[in-house]
Amino acid sequence: MPTISIAAPAIQPFQPPRRTLMGPGPSDVPQRILDAMARPTIGHLDPAFVGMMEELKALLRYAFQTGNALTFPVSGPGSVGMETCFVNLVEPGDKVIVCSNGVFGGRMLENVRRAGGRPVAVEDAWGEPVDPGKVEDAFRAHPDAKALAFVHAETSTGAQSDAKALAAIARRHGALSIMDCVTSLGGTPVLVDAWGIDAAYSGSQKCLSCTPGLSPVSFNDRAVERVRARKTPVQSWFMDLNLVLGYWSGEGRRTYHHTAPINPLYGLHEALVMLAEEGIEHAWARHRASHEALKAGLERLGIGFVVAEAARLPQLNAIRIPEGADDAALRTRLLQEFNLEIGAGLGVLAGRIWRIGLMGHSARPQNVDHCLRALEAVLRP
Ligand SMILES: *Cc1c(COP(=O)(O)O)cnc(C)c1O
């Protein structure tokens, strides 16, 4: 006999409202991707599923612009991709230089600490890109550093750092580079091979416009070598790449590790097929064009940006809340009256900025127009 009862007829199937998502993620998910996720669930070792996994890896290599064999989606949100990089690449006692210019750099520091590493923080102000000069100085002061970690696109501030320059500094000092490209992948150029990035992780729900919960990662041979040469086992069983790889690259001998999120992977496959159909360079151009249109409209409304033009992310527009405007009340009105979600400020920028995402499917003229009309309506005295 069950001892807990529930008023079943009172709780109906959940019908979410239809929103326009222009915050820091998730972005609008095209119906085509939702439809792909509704296809029949099959076994995760079914040959048909395994074939789909191989295509998914090839599509991700295109998105990351890499030939890395070890490129696959980790089962978990971007934070799990982040953690996968740190728990595999950092051994107890390892010194890691971590660039911190916003929320996500701070999380990287915490990841290094929890993996038993010794983080060396290179701080830049929120809203500024990472200063490569400070990174160079940090390597001079800590020549034994084993890795450099940085966020390419800081979603908390809207600033983009020079990933190519940072990776080159790490390489010159014999350290691995670990890049967070959660918000940049698919939105602005991410050239893993051309930039010499050793390990990168991203997320499904930002510029790829899939649902949240998957984290594409890519490791080159130098990074794989580092994992193989570890003296201590990876303390996370789930994220240990030595084990995960038996599942994702078993070459005919795939072994069970965990049950992959089958239907969400159909969705990511579809999202990447759409990216390939569009052409990644056209996706970058579309994000840029959407940003230009939004920027022109915001200027007409007298709204300014947080980040200097040269480091501004087209897909994450951090804007100053106009003088006298009530942050929370206006965002509530946007949601209730316009079904529009924009992002609040985080940390030191809370209450001072809004973050308007133009990510993936949300980077289109209809969204820009809707957002500008809604902002104008709620800001009008
Ligand atoms: C969103 C985001 C993450 C975390 O991704 P989740 O899917 O929310 O876990 C990490 N880094 C950056 C830069 C992000 O924007």
The answer to whether residue 184 is domain-embedded is yes
What is the tens place of the pLDDT at every residue in 6-52? 876 788 899 999 999 999 999 999 999 999 999 999 998 999 999 99
The answer to whether residue 11 is domain-embedded is no
pLDDT band for position 273 (50/70/90)?
very high
What is the tens place of the pLDDT at every residue in 177-195? 999 999 999 999 999 999 9
pLDDT band for position 248 (50/70/90)?
confident
Output 251 or 333, whichever has higher pLDDT: 333
Is 70 exceeded by the pLDDT of residue 250? no
Atom from ligand 1 closest to the CA of residue 212: 7
Q: Which residue has the tokens 């409202």?
A: 17
Do residues 338 and 260 share a domain?
no
Do residues 269 and 309 share a domain?
no
Give me the helices (H) in 234-364, please: 241-248, 262-278, 280-300, 327-338
Residue type at 139 in one-letter notation? F
Residues facing 341 on adjacent strands: 21
* % pLDDT > 90, the chain: 92
pLDDT band for position 1 (50/70/90)?
confident
Is 90 exceeded by the pLDDT of residue 229? yes
Is 80 exceeded by the pLDDT of residue 57? yes
The pLDDT value recorded for residue 95 is 98
Do residues 226 and 312 share a domain?
no
The pLDDT value recorded for residue 5 is 82
The answer to whether residue 332 is domain-embedded is yes
Is 90 exceeded by the pLDDT of residue 255? no
Q: Tell which one of 83, 104, 315, 358 to mutate to probe ligand 1, the residue whose CB is within 8 A of the most ligand atoms.
A: 104
Asked if 149 and 200 touch (Cβ cutoff 8 Å), the reply is no
Pairing verdict, β 176-180 and 95-100: unpaired
The residue contributing the CA closest to ligand 1 atom 14 is 182
Do residues 205 and 316 share a domain?
no
Do residues 194 and 260 share a domain?
yes
CA of 201 to the centre of ligand 1 (A): 10
Do residues 250 and 300 share a domain?
no
Is 70 exceeded by the pLDDT of residue 252? no
The answer to whether residue 70 is domain-embedded is yes
Do residues 263 and 289 share a domain?
no
Do residues 165 and 67 share a domain?
yes
Domain-terminating residue out of 222, 244, 276:
276
Domain-terminating residue out of 236, 253, 276:
276
Domain residue limits at 261? 31-276
Please give the angle made by the CA atoms of 76, 79 and 83, to the nearest 5 degrees. 95
Asked if 63 and 275 touch (Cβ cutoff 8 Å), the reply is yes
Domain-terminating residue out of 276, 299, 330:
276
**How many domains is the chain partitioned into structurally?**
2
Q: Which residue has the tokens 């193989």?
A: 228
The answer to whether residue 7 is domain-embedded is no
Give me the helices (H) in the chain, please: 31-37, 47-64, 78-89, 103-114, 132-141, 163-172, 192-195, 221-228, 241-248, 262-278, 280-300, 327-338, 365-379
> Rounded mean pLDDT of the chain?
96
CA of 357 to the centre of ligand 1 (A): 13
CA of 203 to the centre of ligand 1 (A): 7
What's the CA gap between 18 and 29, in Å, rounded?
11
CA of 166 to the centre of ligand 1 (A): 20
Do residues 261 and 288 share a domain?
no
The answer to whether residue 4 is domain-embedded is no
Do residues 207 and 291 share a domain?
no
Do residues 56 and 119 share a domain?
yes
What is the tens place of the pLDDT at every residue in 72-95? 999 999 999 999 999 999 999 999
Q: Does the C-beta of 203 come closer than 6 Å to ligand 1?
A: yes
CATH number at residue 350: 3.90.1150.10
Do residues 69 and 81 share a domain?
yes
Asked if 246 and 34 touch (Cβ cutoff 8 Å), the reply is no
pLDDT band for position 132 (50/70/90)?
very high
Q: Which residue has the tokens 């390990």?
A: 199
Asked if 76 and 214 touch (Cβ cutoff 8 Å), the reply is yes
pLDDT band for position 354 (50/70/90)?
very high
pTM above 0.85, yes or no: yes
CATH number at residue 80: 3.40.640.10
The answer to whether residue 271 is domain-embedded is yes
The answer to whether residue 2 is domain-embedded is no
The arithmetic mean of pLDDT across residues 307-314, rounded, is 98
Residue type at 225 in one-letter notation? E
